[in-house]
Structure 1
């Protein structure tokens, strides 16, 4: 059908913008090894240029082990703060123990303001 758009055309990166001393990267949808590339590029680019990177996870509906691996790798290379993780991500972080390693915050504002 001509002119039809797949709902995934916009990709998993919802937007990026400065916030305080850091940079906010918003992600959305399902994040797995097949969809993770654009988010990995956005986060790596932000980490190379900014001392703090905030991942707005409020619109992420699913994250698998590839996504978790990306977050843990990024955590070692920059100050990564994860804002507004939904129930599935909170469960993933709790089951793997990542919630004791990653910096989780209830909102983007709280993540930006954290010290």
Structure 2
């Protein structure tokens, strides 16, 4: 599910929450693709995502090729998914949105 989307500092932040799989991914994918078309930096606030499957991961990797994508505050399940697949060496993962935007505390 897609939550708030807003401009912040140099980028565009999109909040997502809940379980993201092939059946629920389309609204988030549309929001991220739209943001990528208008903003050079897109931050996915993943703090409220409780589950992501391989279709979610593939969508992130595809989007990563089209814009500067940063993932903020992923829960442990997502961190494990990124580590097990090696996506953590490709995707920019940050502890929080502020860090992902590169803005000072």
TM-score, structure 2 length as denominator?
0.97
Structure 1 counterpart SS, 2:51? strand
Q: 2:4 aligns with which of 7, 15, 19?
A: 15
Runs of 4+ in structure 1 deviating by more than 2 angstroms, as ranges, are none
Q: CA deviation at 1:86?
A: 0.3
Following the alignment from structure 2 to structure 1, what is the Cα–Cα distance between the partners of residues 49 and 35?
Answer: 19
Q: Considering only CA atoms, is the larger Rg found in Structure 1 or Structure 2?
A: 1
Structure-1 residue corresponding to 2:91: 102
Structure-1 residue corresponding to 2:54: 65
Aligned residues: 103
Q: 2:30 aligns with which of 41, 50, 74?
A: 41
Following the alignment from structure 1 to structure 2, what is the Cα–Cα distance between the partners of residues 45 and 83?
Answer: 19
Following the alignment from structure 1 to structure 2, what is the Cα–Cα distance between the partners of residues 21 and 47?
Answer: 13
RMSD of the TM alignment (CA)?
Answer: 0.8
TM-score, structure 1 length as denominator?
0.88
Structure 2 counterpart SS, 1:77? coil
Q: CA deviation at 1:20?
A: 1.1
Structure 2: state its 5+ residue gaps. none
Q: 1:25 aligns with which of 14, 23, 27?
A: 14
Higher relative contact order (CA 8 A, sep 6+): 2
